Structure 1
Amino acid sequence: MTAAPRRVPSLIAATALAIVIALSQLLAVLPPSWLQPLLASSWTQHGIVSLSVARDEIGGWVVVLAVVAALLAWRSLGTRRSLPRKAVGAVAGFGLAASLVTSGLLVYTSIDQGAGVRPFAPLLPAMASHGGPDETLAVGSADGEPLRADLYRADSDGPAPVVLYVHGGGFDGGARSPNALNRYLADRGYAVLDVDYRLARPDRPTWDLATADIGCTLSWLGREGAAFGLDVERIAILGESAGGNLALNAAYRSQSGNLEPSCGSADDIPNVSAVIGGYPVVDLAGEEARTGLGRLMGEVYIGGSPEEFPERYAAIAPATHVTADSPPTLVYHGTRDHLVLPGPVEEFVATVRREGVTTRYTSIPATDHGGGSLFGTSTWGTGIIQAAIVQWLDAHIA
């Protein structure tokens, strides 16, 4: 008589955990385009992205949680095979099977992309510790607002090749900060400048300012970089999310000679030898405008909708500025990104290739925005991204 009541807590815990795991795995399996009606609302889109990113950041621990859910479900079943208990068991079983498949895909991709063999990652379900910058430099100012850059010195002798890192944050957030890439690249011989740019506000869209601020840092680099041990003839720009948009636009426009910096002189801007866009915003006027968060991003950054300002949206689209002379371009992206949808990014990469630009597209399977590296956790996705970037830099600016 007492056995069944004792199983009630197990059933409740199994139900809650099984549902969360199963939902997170559904989001890792289903193409984002299938969820377009849900993504049209900023609230539901935010919930979907939050659940998926949490799943990605704990990496292999999803499998551990799925096993726990399955064991709790098995314990709650006992000898009473009621329909609700069977349903919980089925949901837990799906979550476990799907988590094993998606984790297996990430392990395989990690090996295939040269990121090494890691059967389980991260070892702890927490943010990794990343070293801070060696120095913070003042590179200029724009309309009285100072622009700074954090310098991560390369672990090498002589002038070091330089990577300008441009943070994300939806164009109205984010900041210079340690992450999974800056110190990692510095330890492999690449100096990193993690740069500032002006953030958008409701009363100040920055569609025509932010890329110019990246130009300001490039201009400073051309004038002053050698004094800091930086090789200004070997430069790459790397940006993620909104920063990926700015990195691509700054690189393409600097090569075509139409990047006007917000400080310094365009004559001082050095040649950009490679550009890297991580899950970059490339289509705010198209598919992104049909998502809730995409519309909000455009309204703040651009100042209105695509119907109101079509020329502004065209001006911030990287495809507008790509030419045959654009620098070699690497793009990496999670295949289940519900914030920056994969479809437009893949179309952008195809456009760059048609221009004859050396291009590589690296997809991180079953991952959402950030590919598992958004908060710096040492996941399989983080390893894939790090390997792809180092390979690209070694090929083009080493």
Structure 2
Amino acid sequence: MSDKAPTIARVARGVLLVAAVLVALFVLFGQLMAVLPVAWLSPLQIVALATSGMRDRLGAWNIVLAVAAIAVGVITLRRGGRRRLPVTVSAMSGTALLLVVITTAVQVFTVHGETGQWFPLSPTVPGSAVGRAPDTTVTYATLDGQPMKADLYLPKTSSAAPLVVSIHGGGFIGGSRGRTPYTSWLADNEYAVLDVDYRLASATVHTWNTADADVACAMTWATTHATEYRLDMGRVATFGGSAGGNLAVNVAYKVNAGILTPSCGTTAQLPRVKTAIGSYPVVDMTDSTTEGSFGRQVANWYVGGLADQYPQRFRAVDSADQISPAAPPTLLVQGSADHLVYADHTKAFADQLTAAGVANRYVEIPFLDHGFDSSALNIGTLATRTLLLPWLQEHLA
């Protein structure tokens, strides 16, 4: 037994060290993804997005991981044995911890400056934080033989509620309606939410001219069922992230300009959109679809090719080309370390709105990547929620 004890101890230390190495590498790599220029990492786009997505979901818990890895390195050093690996683990973890503390502090102070709220430790509990199931799921149309579904989240109020049309992301080639940190939360704050599906693109079916029409189709369904579900169609907003952000902006601008024909119903049934909200929206399809392998796939599937092949199609999907005096006030929330939709594109679009006299607000949250608010109640999600309510209250009053 006495001979086995040291062996078991060495094995345990080895396992802990390996775990600490993996944790230290994850935290350090995630922080490097946050602080290095996004253009440098375009060849590693998918790896960067996957690592950063986990980093953003964990939020402040990255600090805990770095501290734990440091502790393992220090304890192993004190126990004796080979010193090179424990010293390496401690050095990597210490560097990662320093970067996490700096990036988290900058995020907290930036968000406080934008919202007036402090979110020092978020998410409070790591993991998913999506809301409740929808009150009902409806089929708003059948298009190309495909039933088109929408989830409806309803507030507990007897009066007609303003409607937020929620549009999912997924690069126009994936994704679907589903619970998010906003759907039932908005309903709890007295907004009805219609979370819609739309036809997706594939290698052979290009939906650049049907996706926005499908969202408009769902809006005509809402108009015809407004009395049944107590929807105030005089107070309508569009809201989405990524590809859904593109559609939220484009649908609102085209509907208000009277140039969007819905894929069901009539243009007379389309409500005027009072505000559009986009999180990390793909407002510049022309440039975004040339930055990384995923962007090129989106261009080939959604539009059918690149901008030099189909300039007219890209003019139909680029949001800047939809700006008109009828464009509603627009809120844009963007992560600065977005490896899929570069923050420069979203900021440039906001500047174009300002130049055109369209009311807008652009908020950039440091070090966050694409899809930062997809599930967890991290600082990006909490900041977006905090921005959303007063914006909706102002423009859907």
Secondary structure of 1:273's aligned partner: strand
One-letter identity of the residue aligned with 2:160: P
- CA apart distance, 1:381: 1.3
Partner residue of 2:309? Answer: 308
Unaligned runs of 5+ in 2: 1-5
Measured in 2, the distance between the counterparts of 1:192 and 1:57 equals 24
Measured in 1, the distance between the counterparts of 2:110 and 2:227 equals 38
Measured in 2, the distance between the counterparts of 1:395 and 1:54 equals 34
Measured in 1, the distance between the counterparts of 2:301 and 2:257 equals 28
Paired-residue identity, %: 37
Partner residue of 1:172? Answer: 173
One-letter identity of the residue aligned with 1:379: N
One-letter identity of the residue aligned with 2:301: V
Measured in 1, the distance between the counterparts of 2:310 and 2:119 equals 48
Partner residue of 2:349? Answer: 348
Secondary structure of 1:285's aligned partner: helix
Partner residue of 2:97? Answer: 96
Measured in 2, the distance between the counterparts of 1:5 and 1:268 equals 72
Task: Identify which of 18, 36, 46 aligns with 2:24.
Answer: 18
Partner residue of 1:233? Answer: 234
* 1:278/1:332 contact within 8 Å kept: yes
Secondary structure of 2:312's aligned partner: helix
- CA apart distance, 1:360: 0.4
Moved more, 353-362 or 218-227: 218-227
Measured in 1, the distance between the counterparts of 2:68 and 2:34 equals 20
1:207-226 superposed matches below 5 A: 207-226=208-227
- CA apart distance, 1:143: 2.9
- Pair 1:148 & 2:154 matched: no
Cα root mean square deviation, aligned: 2.1
- CA apart distance, 1:112: 3.3
* 1:66/1:92 contact within 8 Å kept: yes
Query: Structure 1 residues 5, 136: CA separation in 2 closer, same or farther (over 3 Å shift)?
Result: closer
- CA apart distance, 1:126: 1.4
* 1:122/1:378 contact within 8 Å kept: yes
Measured in 1, the distance between the counterparts of 2:115 and 2:343 equals 23
- CA apart distance, 1:229: 0.4
- Pair 1:396 & 2:361 matched: no
Partner residue of 1:139? Answer: 140
- CA apart distance, 1:10: 4.2
One-letter identity of the residue aligned with 1:19: L
Measured in 2, the distance between the counterparts of 1:8 and 1:253 equals 61
Partner residue of 2:338? Answer: 337
- CA apart distance, 1:309: 1.5
Partner residue of 2:275? Answer: 274
Partner residue of 2:379? Answer: 380
Measured in 2, the distance between the counterparts of 1:246 and 1:273 equals 15
Partner residue of 2:261? Answer: 260
Measured in 2, the distance between the counterparts of 1:316 and 1:155 equals 37
Partner residue of 1:363? Answer: 364
- CA apart distance, 1:332: 0.5
Measured in 1, the distance between the counterparts of 2:194 and 2:219 equals 10
Moved more, 218-227 or 7-16: 7-16
How many residue pairs match? The answer is 390
Query: Structure 1 residues 88, 377: CA separation in 2 closer, same or farther (over 3 Å shift)?
Result: same
- TM-score, normalised via structure 1 length: 0.92
Measured in 2, the distance between the counterparts of 1:309 and 1:342 equals 25
Secondary structure of 1:174's aligned partner: coil
Measured in 2, the distance between the counterparts of 1:357 and 1:134 equals 35
- TM-score, normalised via structure 2 length: 0.92
Measured in 2, the distance between the counterparts of 1:115 and 1:227 equals 39
One-letter identity of the residue aligned with 1:30: L
* 1:161/1:232 contact within 8 Å kept: yes
Secondary structure of 2:24's aligned partner: helix
- Pair 1:58 & 2:58 matched: yes
- CA apart distance, 1:169: 1.0
- CA apart distance, 1:289: 1.1
Q: Deviations over 1:50-72 (max 9, x none)?
A: 00000110112111001011112
Secondary structure of 1:286's aligned partner: helix
